[in-house]
Amino acid sequence: MDPRTPDLLAACRSRARGLFLLPGFDELILGYRDRHAVLPAEFAHRVFPGGGIFRPTVVSDGRVVGTWKHTGRGARRTVTATPFAPSPGGDSAFPWKIAEEIARAYAALP
């Protein structure tokens, strides 16, 4: 990675505000060999468990903060968001409540 990339990303972080659920093979993760600007190295194994698997990610304000998954089909679909660490500020439900609502809406799509 170009040494200037983290600074460039920091300058754009205000445009990346919000909560996003990304699929496992999203360009944010696949597009860079060195992902430390968006994914802390200590959590990389949770996104890349091995065997060519890339788990779907929860991105908050431009940083990967957890993973998510859905199981089942239709009305029996269950969605789970798993944080890497407790939320700063002590609200352990945020952004996970929002992530689960977004994931349920996503899962309801055909």
Per-residue pLDDT of the chain (110 residues; tens, 9 = 90+): 677 776 776 777 677 777 888 988 998 888 877 888 889 999 999 999 999 999 999 888 888 999 988 887 766 777 788 889 876 666 666 667 777 777 777 677 76
What are the residue boundaries of the structural domains of the chain, listed by start?
A: 5-107
Provide DSSP, 35-54. -TTTS-GGGHHHH--BTTB-
Per-residue pLDDT, 13:
66
Rounded Cα gap, residues 20 and 100, in angstroms:
11
pTM of the model: 0.73
In terms of Cβ atoms closer than 10 Å to its own Cβ (0-12, 13-18, 19+), residue 96 is buried
CA 50 to chain centroid: 17
Per-residue pLDDT, 93:
63
